[in-house]
Amino acid sequence: MGVLGDSDLEALLATLHAKSDEQVEAMRSWRGEKSEEATFSPEERAARLKAFVSDKLVALDRDKAEFCYQLCRATGARQLVEVGTSYGVSTLYLAAAVRDNIAGSGGSGRVIATEYEPEKAKAARANFSRAGLDALIELREGDLRETLKVIGDPVDFMLVDIWIDMARPALELVAPHLREGAIVICDNTQAYREAYADYFAFIGDPANGFRTMTLPFNGGLELSVRCSR
Ligand SMILES: C[S@@+](CC[C@H](N)C(=O)[O-])C[C@H]1O[C@@H](n2cnc3c(N)ncnc32)[C@H](O)[C@@H]1O
């Protein structure tokens, strides 16, 4: 049994991770085969990549997702926001943490999840109900710049696993709702350091009250903590 302590859920996740890993390989080949890519502008390349990944899982790596589960258990997180849900792999880890925190000490909680591809959202909902975790997940469909305008309860934990240009706008929307000591995790911050420049500018601005470090997971995983002083 893995860290989730739930063999049925872990079996479902193993299938989803395997599918995602296969697609990552296909994406590598797709990129390698595109010798004509050099003739496209950066905007055209970005649009082509966006179209290619529009039906791919691009799931958070298993060890990073397990780490998020552990962080949420350690801190008793109940109000979570995830930006970038896709087929719901990381969401299932987060919702399992909420379920287990509630089972341990009562109360209520939820994961606000976000996805703008309708087919991915549909697949995510099917996975949530297969895992029996749908009651703990509020999937907001549409562009997160609209769907995260209202958050509600103070947020304990945020996962940023989204196309990089959306990372800062998402954090700007959620930041006013992060409680003191809240954790923000962001994927691939070492591999795409430059592309994340505006995200780091926001995190590094003392007025926004974060302490941050890049953890040595594959590609880097940013762990930022809301500390007002
Ligand atoms: C890296 S994937 C998320 C993977 C997911 N966390 C997992 O572990 O399975 C990023 C997702 O964000 C979605 N996305 C990108 N921009 C978005 C936006 N502006 N609003 C909502 N969803 C968006 C994409 O469609 C994609 O499915």
Q: Where are the domains of the chain?
A: 7-53, 62-226
**3-class DSSP assignment, residue 184:** strand
Distance, CA of 170 to CA of 60 (rounded, Å): 17
Q: Which two tokens stand for residue 164?
A: 């990089």
| Residue 50 CA, ligand 1 centroid: distance in Å | 11
Report the CATH fold assignment for 62-226. Rossmann fold (3.40.50)
User: Mind listing the pLDDT tens digit for each residue in 118-142?
Assistant: 999 999 999 999 999 999 999 999 9
| Greatest Cα-to-Cα distance within the chain, rounded to the nearest angstrom | 58
| Residue 41 CA, ligand 1 centroid: distance in Å | 24
If we measure between CA atoms, which residue out of 68, 11, 59 comes closest to residue 161?
59
Residue 120: CB within 6 Å of ligand 1? yes
User: Mind listing the pLDDT tens digit for each residue in 42-98?
Assistant: 888 888 888 888 899 999 999 999 999 999 999 999 999 999 999 999 999 999 999
Residue 114: CB within 6 Å of ligand 1? yes
